[in-house]
Structure 1
Amino acid sequence: MDVFGPVADLYETTRPGYPPEIADEIVAYHGGTPASVVEIGAGTGKATEVLARIDAPLTCVEPDAKMATLLASRFPEAEIQRSTFEEWSPPAGGAGVLACAMAWHWLDPATRNSRARQALAPGGTLAVFGHRYDYADADQRDAVQAVLHAIDPTVAERPADWFHRDIVEQGQFDDVHAVVLRRHLRLDKERYLGLIRTFGPYLSRPPEQQRRGLTALGRLVDDFGGSVVLDLRTTLVLGRAGRRDGAR
């Protein structure tokens, strides 16, 4: 996840935060305030803002040095551990809540569900959430997709419910269900192009492709009247860890 270090400041200023209701949903599902919360891939703290509302001891695991430094400056009360999820050692007895926002796809797909379950205390709660960026205006959506496809025909999005399906299909958690929250978000050209510059698919492209994409999208926003309206869909997937194998 260290691809985001060079744009950590931009990430913090342009990425939208999460609805505060997520904290309430986690506490209600867990059955009260958990003994501890661990956030995997915390980045600059966009989701940490919500998880801190749970008012439980909070540990944030983040591998990128620049993002971890920014995270620590924003949340001095949290314990920051610089590590990947795969190299991180869970606390003795397990975490009460293990959360992961917009980072589940960066974790090893072969082990992320089993590692998450083993990191939780028996009966602990998994909370995976993230945004799906769409457009309130179908014409804007079609125009943006056409531009991106012209620059790189291989561009493709994961299904909106992909991490819900992943968690269900792996069968590591009980009582899995999803909560979906939606809101419209208007962005001017500068904020919109800044947001684009923080996306993994953009950062993974060669510089020339990045420049072409930003130029073309900037012209589109001008054609739209100087702004776009995002249809921001936030999905929260909750699951419960059963007793570990061998437990009595």
Structure 2
Amino acid sequence: MDVFGSVADLYQTVRPGYPPEIADEIVAYHGGRPASVVEIGAGTGKGTEVLARIGAPMTCIEPDPRMAALLAARFPDVRIHASTFERWMPPAGGVGLLACAMAWHWLAPATRNAHARRALAPGGTLAIFGNRYDYADPDQGAAIQSALHRIDPTVRERPADWVHQDVVDHGRFVNVRKEVYRRDLPLDKERYLGLLRTFGPYLSRSPEQQQRGLTALGKLVDDFGGIVVLDLRTTLVLGRAGRRTHAR
């Protein structure tokens, strides 16, 4: 997850946050305020903003020192564990809430659910949430996807509900459910290209491919009149460890 350290400041500036009502949804599902919160891959604190509203003692796991430095400056009361989730040792008895915002796909697919289950106290809650970026105008979306495909035809998107399916399929949690929040997010060219520069597929490409992508998409945004409107979909997946409870 340390691929983002080189753009930590930009990440904090341009990445949209999450609906604040996610905190209330987590507390209602858990059945009250959890005794403790641990966040996996906290980055600069986009998810931490929501989780801090719960009001429980929090530990954030973040292996990249540049991201962790911004996180510490923004949330001085949060304990930061500068390592990976796999190397972190949960406290005896487990934690009440284990959360992950936009980092679940960076964890090893074969073991992430098992590690998460072991980290939770009996009856504890797993909360995974993240943003998915689509386009409010289908024509804009089709043009952008076509341009990106010409630059790199190997890029593939995960299915919209892959996290929910991942948790269900691994069978480590009960009462698994999801909530979806949607909003339109208009962006001018500078902010849209800045957002693109914080995405993993962009950062993993060669400098030549990166520049080709920025040039092609910048021209498209100009053709759109200087504005791209994103259809921002936030999905929250919740699961229970151990005992079963009545789902709402």
Q: Same fold (TM over 0.5)?
A: yes
1:246 counterpart residue number: none
Q: 2:182 & 2:50 partners in 1: Cα distance?
A: 16
Deviation of 1:30 after TM superposition, in Å, equals 0.1
2:30 counterpart residue number: 30
Deviation of 1:92 after TM superposition, in Å, equals 1.7
1:152 counterpart residue number: 152
Question: After the TM superposition, which residues 218-229 of structure 1 pair with which residues of structure 2 at under 5 Å, given as runs?
Answer: 218-229=218-229
Deviation of 1:143 after TM superposition, in Å, equals 0.3
1:142 counterpart residue number: 142
1:185 counterpart residue number: 185
What SS does the corresponding residue of 2:195 show, helix, strand or coil? Answer: helix
2:246 counterpart residue number: none
CA RMSD of aligned residues (A): 0.5
Q: Deviations over 1:148-170 (max 9, x none)?
A: 00001111100000010000000
| Deviates further, 85-94 or 54-63 | 85-94
Q: Deviations over 1:46-74 (max 9, x none)?
A: 01000000000010000000000110000
Deviation of 1:200 after TM superposition, in Å, equals 0.2
Deviation of 1:93 after TM superposition, in Å, equals 1.1
1:197 counterpart residue number: 197
Runs in 1 of length 4+ with deviation above 3 angstroms? none
1:73 counterpart residue number: 73
TM-score normalised by length of structure 2 = 0.97
Question: After the TM superposition, which residues 27-176 of structure 1 pair with which residues of structure 2 at under 5 Å, given as runs?
Answer: 27-176=27-176
Amino acid at match of 1:120: L
Q: 1:66 & 1:145 partners in 2: Cα distance?
A: 31
TM-score normalised by length of structure 1 = 0.97
In structure 1, stretches of 5+ residues that fail to align are 244-248
What SS does the corresponding residue of 2:45 show, helix, strand or coil? Answer: coil
Q: Deviations over 1:201-240 (max 9, x none)?
A: 0000000000000000000000000010000000000000
Kindly tell me the number of residue pairs found equivalent between the two proteins: 243
What SS does the corresponding residue of 1:32 show, helix, strand or coil? Answer: coil
What SS does the corresponding residue of 2:123 show, helix, strand or coil? Answer: strand
Equivalent pairs: percent with the same residue?
78
What SS does the corresponding residue of 1:47 show, helix, strand or coil? Answer: helix
Q: 1:89 & 1:62 partners in 2: Cα distance?
A: 14
Deviation of 1:91 after TM superposition, in Å, equals 1.5
